[in-house]
Amino acid sequence: MPNVLYDALFTPHKHNQARYIGDTADNSHSYEQFLQLSSKVAGALISAGLKPGDRVAAQVNKSVEALALYTACVQCGCVYLPLNTAYTPMEISYFVGDAEPGMLVCDSTAKVALAAALADGPACQIMTLDADGSGSLTDAARDKPDQFEPIDRDAGDLAAILYTSGTTGRSKGAMLTHANLLSNAQTLVEYWQFTETDVLLHALPIYHTHGLFVACNTIALAGASMIFQPGFKLDNVIDQLPQATTMMGVPTFYTRLLSDDRFNADLTRHMRLFISGSAPLLAETHDEFAARTGHKILERYGMTETNMNTSNPFDGDRRAGTVGFPLPGVEVKICNPETGEDLPANTIGMLQVRGPNVFSGYWRMPEKTAEELLESGFFITGDLAKIDSHGYVHIVGRDKDLIISGGFNIYPKELELLLDEQPGVLESAVIGAPHADFGEGVVAVLVQKNGETIDCDSIASNLSATIAKFKQPKEYIVVSELPRNAMGKVQKNVLRDQNAGIFQTSS
């Protein structure tokens, strides 16, 4: 029995001398060198007593060695569990207690605090890996052979567990199989037309599905290469763009690029594709980017549980404000959130998806799995959406973001689109806050454009002529920036917590 994922992504490159990964053209690893490194790490994992199916948790900074750890887990049959580098030791203790990994790999500066936090939990050996590639894991791998025969893994075997962000309730571990990850990589290589001549400018974190699976797996399958930046730094990205052909990013990457006069059509003339995801891309950003560079950003939609589901077309009309069409092999439909009944075009409802990319369930949560992963194979995403008459999917918002005021459903995205068009408004977020009379009252949180002023009274007047009264914000708040997570998503749960008492005096 073969190792399904490793055989597809890496076995063809065993002797490939072409460049695979590095932070510059001078500091890089060929495919062969990288796979020799991952083989050594795989040997270290096995020597540490790990077996196929054991979990390996990693809270490490981005590096070539960190990516080799993921590859080594695939190679030796372990289940990779990447963890956000911002998590506290207390948060890590939850994930370790839930997933019971055989090993936790962390930065050396965090080892003492993590060991203390894990002392009362299940046994878990701790090894270190720092951003410069040094650490006890690297030391253990140094004398291991640079060839490691991949351990047999079937299509249905787990390759990774990724925990959801947990903005409501307990974080859930999404179980992703070899087949899940491979199917998505195969689809994206073809749909986005990646070839071995591509060079991806990679500035995303690799503890998230976007930077790890969407980017790295796709590049490996295509035999392309990556400029591996530790993170997004504007000067570094601008310096490296001339060596790249493609870039994947979150909307914040593109707004930061547009804020710099050096970013122009001449700098991007050789680029063939800019991709955006993980958070909604403002239509204003899409249009400004196209006007500045001549490139239309390709926006797509995915989730931790599914990787990529939809994408605007590579060849065709990339429509701002939409996430395009279902990817080949993926089915999507809009359903009534209460009854599950299919809804017609241009009707807002719950988005469900089905396909080989959809995860196998939540780790040790059979009831939650049964609740969200239906017997039909469709997964209830928790995203409110509609499909227009041309087949484009529009994400309206998360179900938990739905505001119910006076018995009426209010979709924040509808208001945010209107608010973003108002004078002086850079971006907006609409939330619901407890209200004695209406259950919830609408709150508009606005970010001001540089050098401009927001007139809340004027905006309220403009909206009163545009939308029904029950939808109109009852309060306007101007802030310097919206709270976001590491992937650029606006954290509306934080805004709700901050403004929970705003209507306390309402009668």
How far are the Cα atoms of 167, 279, 337 from residue 489, in angstroms, in the given order? 12, 5, 23
User: pLDDT value at position 369?
Assistant: 96
Q: What is the pLDDT of residues 273-304, one digit of tens each?
A: 999 998 888 888 999 999 999 999 999 999 99
First to last CA, the chain: 69
Question: Is residue 166 predicted with pLDDT exceeding 70?
Answer: no
Higher pLDDT, 166 or 480: 480
User: pLDDT value at position 504?
Assistant: 81
Cβ atoms 98, 170 nearer than 8 A = no
Report the CATH superfamily, name and number, of domain 232-398: ANL, N-terminal domain (3.40.50.12780)
Reported as a pLDDT band with limits 50, 70 and 90, residue 507 is very low
Higher pLDDT, 243 or 406: 243
* Phi-psi category of residue 169: left, alpha or beta, with phi > 0 → left and psi -120 to 50 → alpha: left
User: pLDDT value at position 438?
Assistant: 83
Other beta carbons within 10 Å of 236: 17
Higher pLDDT, 411 or 186: 186
> What is the dotted CATH code of the domain comprising 402-498?
3.30.300.30
C-alpha 176/C-alpha 166 separation (Å) is: 18
Question: Is residue 167 predicted with pLDDT exceeding 50?
Answer: no
Question: Is residue 505 predicted with pLDDT exceeding 60?
Answer: no
C-alpha 487/C-alpha 373 separation (Å) is: 25
Least confident of 23-37, 283-297, 421-435: 23-37
| Residue carrying structure tokens 């009264």 | 469
Q: What is the pLDDT of residues 450-469, one digit of tens each?
A: 999 999 999 999 998 888 88
Question: Is residue 27 predicted with pLDDT exceeding 90?
Answer: no
Amino acid occupying residue 143: D
Question: Is residue 54 predicted with pLDDT exceeding 60?
Answer: yes
Question: Is residue 371 predicted with pLDDT exceeding 60?
Answer: yes
380-394 mean pLDDT: 96
95-97-99 Cα angle (round to 5):
65
Question: Is residue 164 predicted with pLDDT exceeding 90?
Answer: no
Question: Is residue 169 predicted with pLDDT exceeding 60?
Answer: no
Other beta carbons within 10 Å of 340: 14
How far are the Cα atoms of 346, 414, 463 from residue 466, in angstroms, in the given order? 20, 11, 5
User: pLDDT value at position 24?
Assistant: 63
Higher pLDDT, 54 or 27: 54
Residues 6+ positions from 11 with CB-CB distance below 8 Å: 150
Cβ atoms 98, 363 nearer than 8 A = yes
Question: Is residue 165 predicted with pLDDT exceeding 80?
Answer: no
Architecture of domain 4-170: 3-Layer(aba) Sandwich (3.40)
* Residue 289 parent element (H or E): helix 283-293
Least confident of 168-177, 209-218, 354-363: 168-177
Question: Is residue 168 predicted with pLDDT exceeding 60?
Answer: no
Topology agreement, domain 4-170 and domain 232-398: yes
Task: Give me the percent of the chain exceeding a pLDDT of 90.
Answer: 84
Cβ atoms 99, 158 nearer than 8 A = no
Buried b (16+ CB within 10 A) or exposed e, 150-178: bbebeeebbbbbbbbbeeeeeebbbbbbb
User: pLDDT value at position 295?
Assistant: 98
The domain locations on the chain are 4-170, 232-398, 402-498
C-alpha 333/C-alpha 376 separation (Å) is: 13
Question: Is residue 401 predicted with pLDDT exceeding 90?
Answer: no
Q: What is the pLDDT of residues 186-238, one digit of tens each?
A: 999 999 999 999 999 999 999 999 999 999 999 999 999 999 999 999 999 99
The torsion angles phi and psi of 104, rounded to 5 degrees, stand at -120, 125
Buried b (16+ CB within 10 A) or exposed e, 199-231: bbbbbbbbbbbbbbbbbbbbbbbbbbbbbbbee
